[in-house]
Structure 1
């Protein structure tokens, strides 16, 4: 990290069978009980797609294929920004291994049923829109 450049936290809008994966935080205490798009901090020199694959393997025990970045980035704690990528589930069944106590698959019409972290809301809305559009096109 050089200068005042923020460190990237990559989140995954994991998609499977017309559904979006949500993960409920168990830590830290300030975030516990709220839902997020799972992911984590990039390691130095790590590409966002590589970091996303690594983080989702560590946190949820799944293999994903990153697809596209959702436009925008959202400030987190000072010095960090969230970038979100859509990703296709290619292996494993998500289970809460680190920093989460529950995971849930949500269809586009049900994403509002959980209390998302504020910074995840714009990306969740875009992921739900993409899923709904895909279903309308028969994909």
Structure 2
């Protein structure tokens, strides 16, 4: 019996040549590390719809996913949890100013600052794919 893969979506929100990074509050072992905002896709939910929902819940903003970047990146397996993959989209901010509703803090990173934060391992492979979108 194979476990169904949990899809997690991430938003590479780009504005004025900078990428929005979010600092994790939970779980304790990930607290303080940085990620692209997003979360799990619910059963029967489309990836894009989950991305829009998660940005509304986590940041209080409306985003428009523009294009997918990179491939599927596997998350490190945690205990008996089911296997998970991360999919990332470049997204534009349509409404609202991002607020850290579920994170410790938020930071806009310019291209030269992308390596200054301690990214979660699953997010790291996307950074080089995102960089050209910050350079115009």
Matches within 5 A, 1:66-77: 66-76=65-75, 77=77
1:42, 1:65 → 2: CA distance?
Answer: 17
1:56, 1:125 → 2: CA distance?
Answer: 22
1:128 aligns with 2:124: no
Residue matched to 2:84: 80
Aligned positions, number:
131
Given the alignment, which residue of 83, 99, 103 partners 1:95?
99
1:35, 1:43 → 2: CA distance?
Answer: 23
Q: CA RMSD in A?
A: 1.4
Q: Deviation at 1:68?
A: 0.8
Q: Deviation at 1:8?
A: 0.2
Residue matched to 2:24: 25
Structure 2: which 5+ runs fail to align? none
Residue matched to 2:108: 105
Q: Deviation at 1:129?
A: 2.4
Residue matched to 1:16: 15
Q: Contact (CA 8 Å) 1:62, 1:93: kept in 2 or not?
A: yes
Structure 1: which 5+ runs fail to align? 135-139
Q: TM-score, normalised by structure 2?
A: 0.91
Deviating above 4 A after TM superposition, structure 1's stretches of 4 or more consecutive aligned residues are none
2:70, 2:116 → 1: CA distance?
Answer: 24
Q: Contact (CA 8 Å) 1:21, 1:105: kept in 2 or not?
A: yes
Residue matched to 1:137: none
Q: TM-score, normalised by structure 1?
A: 0.89
Q: Deviation at 1:71?
A: 2.4
2:33, 2:132 → 1: CA distance?
Answer: 21
Q: Contact (CA 8 Å) 2:100, 2:106: kept in 1 or not?
A: yes
Q: Deviation at 1:3?
A: 4.2
